[in-house]
Each structure stands twice: as C-alpha cells, then as structure tokens.
Chains A and B, each alone.
Chain A
Amino acid sequence: MEQRAFLERAIEQHGKATYNFAYRLTHNEADASDLTQEAFIRVFKAWESFKPGTSFRSWIYRIVTNLHRDELRRRKTRYQEEAPPPVQPIEELIDSYLSEPVSHALAKLTPEQRQIVLLADVDECSYQEIGRIVGCSVGTVRSRLHRAREQLRKLVNRYMKSPS
C-alpha cells in the first residue's frame, strides 16, 4: 500500500536525523523517542498533503518542533512549577567541563539560538527552511543566527584561552 511504502521510505531516509533533531530539543532518549514516533505517525496520517519536490526534512522537523512546544506547554500547565530546562546527559556535561570549548559554548546558548545555529551549520538548511521549521520569518532567523554565532565566537575564544 502506497501510504505504508511512503512511511517506510521516510523512516529509512529521515528516521535517524529526525531522532537526533528531537534529541537536541529534549536531551533525553525517552522524550526524543516519543517525539520521533509521534511525528512519523502524523506524517503517515497526513502523507497525501506532502508535496513531492519540497523538503520532507523541514516538514517533519516542523512537526517535531510543534509537538515539543505543545508538550512543554502541557507540562507547564499541569504543574505549577516551570519544567526545569533540559539537562545534558552526564557524558556531554563532562565533555564540556573537561576539554571541549565548542560543546561548552553551545551549552551556553539559549535553546532557540542553539537550534537555529545547528540547523544552519550542521543540517545545512536554508534560512527559509529554518524559518518554516521554527515558525518565524527569515529576518528573525538571520538576526538570531548572527547573535548566536557572535556568542559562540566569544565563548569559544574564551574557553580556548583559559584552561577549563
């Protein structure tokens, strides 16, 4: 059945990248797995609305971003306290403390800055794609990106100069 074939192909081509994208947002395996699973289920249900030739990646990344936002809002209203910011697993934390100026610097960015920088530099998305994924204008993408890189530049230089 075409719908199933579409899903299987999507998982095969984009499953790992989507999971890693979700992991960047949630910083834990369980939530990242949930988000990934839910996103592909949505993709399955809405498969006919996907226009061939457009970027599947930015479509599913957008779904993941929205699901994550919804879940954060849900958690925030269920418990009076703010959900604490996602914490990096201890291995990453150790890396940043010990030797990696880059990872240490990344950790200091806001989640929005981090997400945009990684989409631009690692996933090599266009600014327009990033805007679609994150839900903002290209102008906002530009300014957030430049701000983030400015921060990274400063921090990386600082961490490289001083021993951890």
Chain B
Amino acid sequence: MKHVSIAALALAMASMTIGTARPDDSFEQLVFAAIAAPSHVSYTGTVEVIRMGSHSAEAAVYHVEHRAPGMTRRDYTAPSALAGDSMVVEGPRTLSVDPRLHRVVETSNATAGDSTALNADYALLRANYRVQFQGNEAFDGRPAMDLILINKYSGRQTMLLRLDRASKVVLDKEEFASNGALVSEVRFEEISYAASIPAADFSVPAGYARLRESSAVSFGSVGDAMKRCGFAARAPRSLPDGFSAIEGTVVDAQGVRTIQLLYSDGLRTVSVFESSKATTLDATPFGPKMLRVGTASAEYAEDGSTALLAWSDGGLHYTLAGELGLVDLTRLAESLQP
C-alpha cells in the first residue's frame, strides 16, 4: 500500500469542508482528528500492544517518542525476544535496529504523501462504519472520550477509540472480532506531550551493518498486478460486505513469484496471495487446523489477530491473510474457485 505520511493526512483533513458538515458528522470528524493528531502533536510515552487469537496471545511493550509530523521511535522493552530492539520511522523510511546482530535493516515505503489514496481510504471507512459516542472517561488523569466504530452491514462494534479530549490522540484502541472478543489493543500506559523532541533522539547506532531491502515493493492496481505477475491469477468473484479492491503487487516468497491483492473496508483488510509454482503454508508455530475449501484440503491458522487460510486448487496456490473471521475467510476462498 502506498505508505502515506501523516502530514499528507493533515493536508487532506484541512481540505475537508468542516463548515458545511452536518451535526452527526461531528463524531466522524473526531475520528479524523484522531488520525491526524500525530501530524501536529509531539509526545512520549509507553505503549502496550496486545494481539489475541482464540488460542494464543502476543504482547509487546515499547517506549515511544514521536516528533510531529513524521518521526517516531519505538524502543521495545518486552517481551524478551524484542527487548533492546528499536524502530525509527522517518517519513517513508523505516529503520529496524537489532542490537544482538549489530545491524540496521532499512525498508522503504513507496510514494509518501499521497493524499488522494488517503482520502479514498478514509472515504471507505466512512462508507462502511458509523461512529457513535460512547461516553466520557478519564485516562491517566486526563479527560477522554470513547467512540465506537460500528460496521454498517453487521451492526457489530468493530473498534473502540479512547481519545484525549484535548489533543485527540488515541490513548487506547481496541479491535473486536465478530463474536465480540477482543482481538487487539494498543494503549498508552502513560503519555506526556512535548513541545519539541530533539532530532538526535531518533539517531541509530553508527557502527552497525546496514541492510536494505533489495527490491522496493511497489503497489499498483489489482488489475496491473494481475497483468504483471506472469501467470493467470484469479480475483475473487465476491467480497465480504463493504470490501473493495485497494491495490496489488508482486512479491518474492522464497523464490516463488507471488501476487498479493489487498482488499479493505476501511478498517479491516485481507490479502490474497497466489502463485502458480507449488507452495505450502508452514504455520507450525501457530497450531494449524485442517479444513476444506470446496473439495480442496486447506490449512487454517491464527497469528494473533491475523487469520491465515491456505489451499491449492486449479493449478494455483492460495493463501489468505487478514482480520476476517473464519466464515468470511472461507466464503472469500470459495469465491476464488474456478
């Protein structure tokens, strides 16, 4: 996906004609303001991220420093596998620092600052979700407000946002699966706003080996990707409610040329990976289950809140990855059958 910068988002927000908005748009504008907050608010704090599947949970804790509009540093303190690692995001560049292996891995995001794509994403979210005020809360001594995002098709609450009333920064974000179970939470354990943060805070160790991804992954339309991939890829005949095609690309999966098609409803996403060369999914750490897609045998696994479904059919090898429940995932899989 085009990795748009937060600054572009702020630009897009400014271009919205707030004056002509109807009263019930005000909560949606709060959501937009929450997304845009990091473009003009600098802060430091400690964040906890929890991702949960039905049989497993992952958690990470990191210290964060954000200098508006687009520099962010995360220093992981937990779990022990990540402790000491850090990540610095500077606009379109991300540097992952691994002190154990003494190296920095740099990944680039494609065109940053694309406000057209951003507006389209946000329009998609607004088309598929409505925002409801949930109540006033206090968070760490600050007045906060709760907003929930409700899927218009299922009527289900998909996300809860707790915003700092003053800064509009999202202090706590909870995502829910279709059965109401919590699938992920990102929350500040403590936050303090800073007028400015020195740029030196975002430097990475000088003596480390630098590794760059050898080929930047560039995204285009789904149609373009299907032309580029070099085999007869299939697109789903039907999508879950509210979903539409976002973009596609061709990636290299351990030597296997693989197409990746991304679909989203503005909040939830799913990627369809396909290859003509035979692949199998190795999901051993996640306790995979065997299911069926039509007549084909399929493998299903969950990695935190991301579900995976892999099968082979009609000469193609498919893997779906995304935040969909098993029912939606299986339907999507069946709509890919020849």
User: What is the interface of chain A, defined by CB distance below 8 A to chain B?
Assistant: 27-31, 75, 78-84, 87, 89-91, 94, 97-98, 164
Contacts and interface: CB of A to CB of B under 8 A. Distances in A.
Nearest to A84: B50
A149 B166 CA distance: 38
B76 to A, nearest CB: 12
A110 B149 CA distance: 29
A84 B181 contact: no
Contacts of A81: 57-61, 78-79
A94 B134 contact: yes
A98 B134 CA distance: 8
B148 interface: yes
Contacts of A90: 148, 157, 160, 176, 180
A89 B78 CA distance: 27
Contacts of B60: 81
Interface residues of B, number: 27
Contacts of B181: 27-30, 87, 89
Which of B60, B78, B134: most chain A CB closer than 10 A?
B134
A98 to B, nearest CB: 7
A84 to B, nearest CB: 5
Nearest to B135: A97
Nearest to A33: B54
B26 interface: no
Nearest to B146: A97
Nearest to A71: B55
8 contacts: A28-B54, A28-B180, A29-B179, A30-B54, A87-B182, A90-B157, A97-B135, A164-B135
Interface string B40-65: 00000000001010111111110000
A108 to B, nearest CB: 15
B247 to A, nearest CB: 31
Prevailing SS type, chain B contact patch? strand
B185 interface: yes
Contacts of B295: none
A84 B180 contact: no
Contacts of B157: 90-91, 94
A164 B185 CA distance: 24
Contact of A98 (B50, B79, B135, B180): B135
Contacts of B54: 28, 30-31
Nearest to A92: B180
A80 B135 contact: no
B80 A80 contact: yes
Contacts of B179: 28-30, 89
A79 to B, nearest CB: 6
Contacts of A94: 134, 157
Given A28-B181, A84-B57, 11 more contacts: A28-B180, A31-B54, A79-B58, A80-B80, A81-B78, A84-B50, A89-B181, A90-B148, A90-B157, A90-B176, A97-B146
Contacts of A30: 54-55, 179, 181
Nearest to B81: A80
Interface string B154-183: 000100100000000000001010011110
B149 to A, nearest CB: 11
A35 to B, nearest CB: 12
A87 B50 CA distance: 12
Contact of B79 (A29, A31, A80, A91): A80
Contact of A79 (B79, B148, B180, B185): B79
B267 to A, nearest CB: 15
